Amino acid sequence: MNIAAETREILFDRQVYAAEAIQKAAYRFVDRMAVNLHVTDTHVRCALFVNPEVGTPDDVIRDFQKEVLDQHLRLKIASETESIRHLILAHAFSRTGLT
């Protein structure tokens, strides 16, 4: 049985969410929906084509929004801890004798 995907649209404010986070979340949801992104100066507009065989569109979209937040926070933490991670790696490799 071939059931058409339901299309929805949501906006993410670019002052709040990084476009990279939305792209990463879209990739994680590739099995549940297709995402078409349109980036403007102020927003990322997402056209979502939800596969009806994987759940209700509202549930899938709500999970997608949670994933966008998760990916955004991962990027933020990675950025904030970058110098510490470099320091730890430099210290670890300074004891190996590798040059």
* 19 in Cβ contact with 54 (< 8 Å): no
Side by side, which strands form the sheet with 33-39?
6-13, 43-50, 33-39
**In this predicted model, what pLDDT tens digit does every residue of 21-46 receive, in sequence order?**
999 999 999 999 999 999 999 999 99
CATH topology of domain 6-94: Alpha-Beta Plaits (3.30.70)
User: Does residue 4 have a pLDDT over 70?
Assistant: no
pLDDT at 94: 82
3-state secondary structure of 9: strand
User: Does residue 13 have a pLDDT over 70?
Assistant: yes
| 6 φ, ψ (degrees, to nearest 5) | -90, 135
